[in-house]
Amino acid sequence: MKERALEKSKNGMMAMLLIFASYVVAIAAIILGAISFEKQQSAPGLILMIAGIIYASCGWILFLGLKVLKPQEALVLTLFGDYIGTLREPGFYFVNPFCTAINPASDTKLSQSADVKANSNKMLQLTGEAMHAEVNSVGGKKISLKVMTLSNSRQKINDCLGNPIEISIAVMWRVVDTAKAVFDVDNYKEYLSLQCDSALRNVVRVYPYDVAENVDTTGDGVADEGSLRGSSEVVAERIRAEIQSKVQDAGLEIIEARITYLAYAPEIAAVMLQRQQASAIIDARKMIVDGAVGMVEMALDRLSEKEVVDLDEERKAAMVSNLLVVLCGNRDAQPIVNSGSLY
């Protein structure tokens, strides 16, 4: 269903003045009719009084047609089951008083997937004025056109290597077609939340947590270095596009999606930490050895250039061994002074 904007109904102030004026006329008719009927016992006076009483009793119905909209608000209206249009612009409107505003998600407070049920339980526990205030805080039947944020609950998903990870996302979204949001899905907020969960699973299972060999994350048949940890911008954009393709028919626009939490699941977090530590230690050792070899080479070259001492191959090997032990060792070296002859 396509949205139809009602732009010719922004005459609420004039309608309200006319309603008040008609009430004044009705009161005057009651008074004049009563006086005329009392004095002359005439039928016109009785009819005038009855007409005034009827209007005074039923005229309040016209006040139901007065609608006030703030900026970034919309109201979807139906008349006896038929969709007649949407009020989108801020202002004071007068519409058919028998029109009904529709918003199936008015009582849904969206913050995460499980919050819909939690909010329902909360509403059942509230009583009296507290429940009335809670319902009013949701915004009634008006649909917000502002940019809103969905922070979905943390999910446990297996990446492309089968490692369980925990991930959550924040999605910025807004309603762009109120008719689709109201009539094409049952509850557009719940629908968005469930589609975010589904899209997140579809995308995450394509990527490894960290860079892995022989993994194709783009679908072009060539291994790449994409990962959840290192390619967060690319993954977030892919999640946004996936969600947008699913909620297009609901009249929603996904502005941005961001990963807010990413970690290994607790059952493998300790093992993966040890793996990362081992990898870091190996890289550090590699750097230390490269530096130590360079320093030994430089020392031998300088001794040869300055002709400080003439070492044979055996003594050079012993010197290289001692220097490597000192430079690559985990502990501070304990020097030993040789007071005897070098040879």
Q: What is the pLDDT of residue 339?
A: 56
And the tokens for 264? 């290994």
Say if residue 132's pLDDT is above 80. no
pLDDT of 120 > 60? The answer is no
Lowest mean pLDDT among 90-99, 127-136, 239-248, 252-261: 127-136
CB 66 within 8 A of CB 91: no
Residues 148 and 138: beta-carbon distance below 8 Å: no
Mean pLDDT of 14-36: 84
Range among 90-99, 151-160, 236-245, 315-324 rated most confident:
236-245
pLDDT bucket at 338, cuts 50 / 70 / 90: low
Could you tell me which CATH number the domain at 115-264 has?
A: 3.30.479.30
* pLDDT value for 20: 87
Task: Quickly count: other Cβ atoms within 10 Å of residue 328's Cβ.
Answer: 13
**Tokens 């002859």 — which residue?**
341
DSSP, residue by residue, 14-72: HHHHHHHHHHHHHHHHHHHHHHHHHHH--HHHHHHHHHHHHHHHHGGGGGGGEEEE-TT
Position 90 pLDDT exceeds 90: no
Query: pLDDT tens digits for 148-180?
Result: 888 878 888 888 888 888 999 999 999 999 999
> Cα 91 to the chain's mean position, in Å?
29
C-alpha torsion 248→253→255→258, nearest 10 = -60
Residue 113 scores a pLDDT above 80: no
In this structure, are residues 77 and 95 in contact, taking their beta carbons and an 8 Å threshold? Answer: yes
C-alpha count within 13 angstroms, C-beta hemisphere, residue 137: 9
Distance CA(40)–CA(270), nearest Å, equals 101
- 114 pLDDT higher than 50: no
Burial class (CB within 10 angstroms; exposed 0-12, middle 13-18, buried 19+) of 36: middle
CA–CA distance from 93 to each of 6, 11, 57, 90, 313 (Å)?
10, 5, 23, 9, 100
- Indicate the pLDDT class of residue 139, thresholds 50, 70 and 90: very low
Would you say how long the chain is, in residues?
Answer: 343
Q: CA nearest 6: which of 72, 70, 96, 104?
A: 96
CB atoms within 10 A of CB 151: 18
Nearest-angstrom CA–CA distance, 237 and 196: 13
240, pLDDT greater than 90: yes
User: What's the CA dihedral at 154, 159, 164, 170 to 10 degrees?
Assistant: -10
Indicate the pLDDT class of residue 290, thresholds 50, 70 and 90.
Answer: confident
Provide Rg for the chain, Cα atoms.
39
Residues 258, 226: Cα–Cα separation, whole Å: 17
Contact 109, 122 (CB under 8 A): no
Query: For residues 286 and 186, what is the distance between their CA atoms, to the nearest angstrom?
Result: 60
pLDDT at 330: 66
Which pLDDT belongs to residue 242?
Answer: 93
CB proximity list for 169: less than 8 A, separation 6 or greater: 151, 152, 196, 200, 236, 239, 257, 258, 259, 260
What is the number of other CB atoms lying within 10 angstroms of the CB of residue 13? 13
The Cα 240–Cα 159 span in angstroms is 18
Closest CA to 7 of 63, 69, 88, 96: 88
Which part of the chain has CATH 3.30.479.30?
A: 115-264
Cα dihedral across residues 142, 143, 148, 151: positive or negative: positive
Nearest to 92 by CA among 72, 65, 118, 117: 65
pLDDT digits (tens, 9 = 90+) for 173-211: 999 999 999 999 989 998 998 999 899 999 988 888 888
Is the pLDDT score of 228 beyond 80? yes
Mean pLDDT across the chain:
79
Q: What letter represents residue 175's amino acid?
A: V
242-284 confidence digits (pLDDT tens)? 999 999 989 999 999 999 888 888 887 676 677 677 777 777 7
The residue-averaged pLDDT of 276-299 equals: 79
